[in-house]
């Protein structure tokens, strides 16, 4: 089976992670912090924005991959992929800004968690039924 949707979202999410990583690196340079966060609010925010992405993206991509491998309709795979991608971008923008944009952050988390829940349930149902 050739995968057509998951590689797109995995690649785009990897680019998002690289972007967030570059913000951590830039903050380290501008704030002159080599290791850790030095109790610096800008550093902590940059690190947590990147880490939050890393905490949710892997499980989302694995579930998306399983959904596609199980033969879900391509529109469903794209819908789940878009939920994860848009959710992560919205959360990164909302959380990463000072002050935070709370509606973006909340909507981003809802999309992310909704995607994980839907994909998990779909995978379980497909395996059981």
Instruction: Find the CATH number of the domain harbouring 115.
Output: 1.20.120.550
Question: Which among 119, 41, 86 is positioned nearest to 94, based on CA atoms?
Answer: 86
6-31 residue pLDDT tens: 999 999 999 999 999 999 999 999 99
Q: Tell me, rounded to whole angstroms, the distance of Cα 103 from its chain centroid.
A: 17
Structural domain includes residue 1: no
Structural domain includes residue 31: yes
Domain count, the chain: 1
Q: How far apart are CA 38 and CA 28, in angstroms?
A: 10
Structural domain includes residue 37: yes
60-113 residue pLDDT tens: 999 999 999 999 999 999 999 999 999 999 999 999 999 999 999 999 999 999
Query: Taking the CA atoms of the chain, what radius of gyration do you get in angstroms?
Result: 16
Structural domain includes residue 50: yes
């Amino acid at each position: 089976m050739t995968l057509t949707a998951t590689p797109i979202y995995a690649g785009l999410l990897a680019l998002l992670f690289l972007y967030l990583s570059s913000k951590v690196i830039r903050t380290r340079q501008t704030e002159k912090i080599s290791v850790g966060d030095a109790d610096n609010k800008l550093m902590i925010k940059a690190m947590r924005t990147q880490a939050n992405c890393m905490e949710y993206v892997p499980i989302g991509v694995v579930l998306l991959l399983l959904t596609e491998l199980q033969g879900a309709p391509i529109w469903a795979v794209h819908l789940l992929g878009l939920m994860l991608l848009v959710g992560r971008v919205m959360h990164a923008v909302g959380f990463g800004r000072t002050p935070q944009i709370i509606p973006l952050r909340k909507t981003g988390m809802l999309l992310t968690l909704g995607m994980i829940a839907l994909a998990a349930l779909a995978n379980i149902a497909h395996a059981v039924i």
